[in-house]
Amino acid sequence: MPSWGRGRNNHHDSGENEKTACEKGKGDNSMIGIVDYGMGNLRSVEKAFQLMGFEALVSDNPEMLNKVSGLVIPGVGAFPDAMTYLKERGFIDPLKAYAASGKPLLGICLGMQVLFEEGFEGDRCEGLGLLKGSIERIPAGVKIPHMGWNQLSILQNSPLLRGTRDGDYVYFVHSYFANGCDAGEMMAVTDYGIMLPAMVQRGNIYGLQFHPEKSSDVGLNMIKNFGELSQC
């Protein structure tokens, strides 16, 4: 298990030459929304935001999206089930509208995967289509699932990675990965036989394949950064 907070390979700080995550100051009525679509880890994500001083609201009502300044799609489970539940609860169009609004949107683990165009966990399943690429099974030759602590290799700066260093450890649990990502949207990768996308970003849309809420100080710092982005 890694030492808390920092990896050993710390020559690259993704915050170098970066301004603070929120240049406009904190809003008075900010709220982080957490989408409840029946796919796990809701309370641990909520508690992580609360620990970092942000108010969070867990809801299965799409109307919640109209009231929050930042939105999180968490999730543990299968891609087709997630898309089915999102459709049944009326989240598809509101999520796309929220992404188009410019407000910060964060997908965690399965929540990151549904941001992509399609998934192949079983039969082909259409995703939200907010990011280019498809969700496919990690190739044979390594232990599946990819579970445990692994290091980040930072490719590009991002407000979400402010304060994160190259080689920092985060906690993964997944059997599928995002393939065919746009190179300009891949912020960090992790080495698991092949380089797997660990963080992606397109404008206001962020995705973390790992669990920041389970990644000690490194992950909590990212939670803090997202909370600050949501207060801009």
- Which residues are annotated as catalytic? 109, 211, 213
Contact 32, 227 (CB under 8 A): yes
Distance from the first to the final alpha carbon of the chain? 35
Contact 81, 121 (CB under 8 A): no
What is 76-124 written as a DSSP string?
-S-HHHHHHHHHHTT-HHHHHHHHHHT--EEEETHHHHTTEEEE-SSS-
- Contacts of 116-120 with C-beta under 8 Å, sequence gap 24+, read 116/178, 119/79, 119/80, 119/83, 119/176, 120/176
Cis peptide, bond prior to residue 139, ω within 30 of zero: no
The residue whose two tokens read 């920041």 is: 212
